[in-house]
A and B are shown apart, each in its own frame.
Chain A
């Protein structure tokens, strides 16, 4: 008798296991929030401003004092291949390592869906800039406050990367500044597309966070190799803010972002 009872127990235990596998039918509707976190790093290490020594592949040693960049025109791709474009007028953000609150960009009122890809621009696209000062909305003032504009005619700084460096030929630390933006010949806006290994499940009750790592070692060493030492003609510092190096650095910038993981919390 007891054996029968325990066999019954085993069968029941098994059956509950299998029924537990059945998926609840979920209707996806409404809107939610999606967070993009930009986590600055240098070749695998978390970035620490001022104090951390960062050695490039060209054996230049950088101390980074400031890194800011403009993230714009965010487009999210759903698992069915369709896209959602975040409203353009609200799609300009400045990520500033020194301001923790700027590391996470909250995208509000995003349609609930399963997203598999995020696409964004680095810098301000030419169409937007061509809209004139009045077309910039609040972002013009925001960029000016952050020091991310040269002047209205010269345009925005897309990436502002600053610090000091030494190398085999530059033994005493001197400042460096790498500022990307438009030049007379190149606009230097670039677009980045990142696939998500884990789908971002936007729901009214679920706020996914896409954790993006920005590897700043790639600004100088990626598709193209740029040495600060080669841009230190005066010996008082390396300033790369124009010329033929900017399109090369822009190519590098487009490779410096990667998705580490996605939380669906």
Chain B
């Protein structure tokens, strides 16, 4: 029943999308006014719903708010394969290629969609294990609750709220959760998950600060496994260098993730809660209707799975086309 509601809702949304006329900015595709929904895209790394799978990565595009693009990102983890002090540490690589898009429906409402394809691997003592396939597709909408009028003040503000749904299009394989290694080695959570987000952006001339907070409610999947709810937060400082032919946007910030315990048959799974704080760096280059972005995240402080999982780094590259 729940699923029927959501499917019909999505169908309804897509009709909306098609019928809506995108608002084209005739002056420049790269004005900050159009930088919206950055926080919304922070769900994209939610590779598997999963603890330690990267909910706060994001960045989105600081240059163009309405685009379709492709992005590759890599997350490197080390996990302890066992419960003992002398248990081996194994390397885990989470690779994702995804199509992402943000489309305005009205001046205040935007819709975003993320379609990920994962190809993960880990080096178990018994050999390399690979999984690959379609991940969980996310669709969300945001609403601009407050926006300063253009050119009216020194500072401009933009506050957005939104929500969305992540569908269980990625395969959840129960067998991947046997043993004690990273429970997030999955293509999807196998569950319908719900996203709520807020974003605040303040700008003065070419300098801006984008802060976001979002919460991801995860439900129990058909295998009676439930990934823990996840809080993501972050703040990014960015600066626009307009060199006439190209625009450069260097970015620096922090991003954090807090995970609640996973549950199986309603019972908490030990050592699945945790938190992590990242520093993040990025550069976006825009020319005409295209922009290229590259980003990296390095952990500052982490406590994942009671120390049994360590995030090493994350990085991404993306190519966007402004709509």
Which of A's residues lie within 8 Å of B, judged by CB? 2-3, 5-6, 9-10, 12-14, 16-17, 19-20, 23, 39, 41, 44-46, 197-199, 201, 206, 211, 213, 260-265
Contacts and interface: CB of A to CB of B under 8 A. Distances in A.
Contacts of B165: 13
A211 B143 contact: no
Given A6-B143, A16-B2, A46-B87, A261 B13 contact: no
Interface of B: 1-2, 5-6, 9, 12-13, 16, 82-87, 105-106, 108-109, 141, 143, 163-165, 174, 177-178, 180, 192, 194, 217, 219-220, 224, 264-271
Contacts of A2: 16, 105-106, 109
Contacts, number: 80
A9 B219 contact: no
A58 to B, nearest CB: 20
B265 A12 contact: no
Contacts of A19: 1-2
Contacts of B9: 9, 12-13
B198 to A, nearest CB: 13
B106 A9 contact: no
Contacts of B164: 13
A264 B143 CA distance: 42
A13 B10 CA distance: 11
Nearest to A203: B265
A211 B269 CA distance: 13
B86 A46 contact: yes
B105 A261 contact: no
A23 B220 CA distance: 10
Contacts of B84: 41, 44-46
A211 to B, nearest CB: 7
A15 to B, nearest CB: 8
Given A17-B194, A201-B267, A6 B141 contact: yes
Contact of A261 (B16, B83, B194): B83
Contacts of A39: 83
22 contacts: A2-B105, A9-B9, A9-B13, A13-B165, A16-B5, A16-B6, A16-B192, A16-B194, A20-B192, A39-B83, A41-B84, A44-B84, A44-B86, A46-B82, A46-B86, A198-B268, A201-B265, A201-B267, A213-B83, A261-B270, A261-B271, A264-B267
Contacts of A198: 267-270
Most chain B CB neighbours (cut-off 10 Å) among A3, A13, A211: A13
